[in-house]
Amino acid sequence: MKPLSPVPISIFTDVSPRNFLAGHDRNLKETCKDFESIFIKQMIKGMRRTVIKSGLFEESNQKDIYQDMFDQQVAREIARGKGIGLGDKLYKSLSKKQNTGGGTTK
């Protein structure tokens, strides 16, 4: 069994607001891209339902699972690239609320 490596003390002492906000900002951007990916996947599933079945491939559970995994990966790649703009708009909106205190107005 390998001994545990010592934890550098700097991870506990380097908690400046700038480092914290940079990490939080990165997480927020990543979360917005993930949301966009989920939205795109739902769009792809909806579009796929409108296509007439040709009968060339038989319907099976395995095909459905593969199709779902494929759609998920395509949606993820679209969102990681330029995307459709939803992730960027959501990020701008949420980061603006975060910077202004995050309160809701009535």
Tell me the residue range of the domain where 73 lies.
62-88
Residue 76 belongs to a domain: yes
Identify which of 101, 47, 104 has the alpha carbon closest to the alpha carbon of residue 74.
47
Joined tokens for residue 20: 């914290």
Give the confidence band of 5 by pLDDT, cuts at 50, 70, 90.
low
Look at residue 78 in the predicted model and tell me its pLDDT. 94
| Model confidence at 6: pLDDT above 80 | no
Q: Angle 81-49-44 (CA atoms, 0-180°, nearest 5)?
A: 5
Residue 31 belongs to a domain: no
Look at residue 2 in the predicted model and tell me its pLDDT. 57
Residue 100 belongs to a domain: no
Angle 17-49/61-80 helices, nearest 10 degrees?
130
Look at residue 106 in the predicted model and tell me its pLDDT. 46
CA dihedral 24, 30, 33, 39 (to 10 degrees): -90
Residue-wise pLDDT tens digits, 69-78 = 999 999 999 9
Residue 93 belongs to a domain: no
Report the domain count for the chain: 1
Residue 50 belongs to a domain: no
Residue-wise pLDDT tens digits, 45-55 = 999 999 888 88
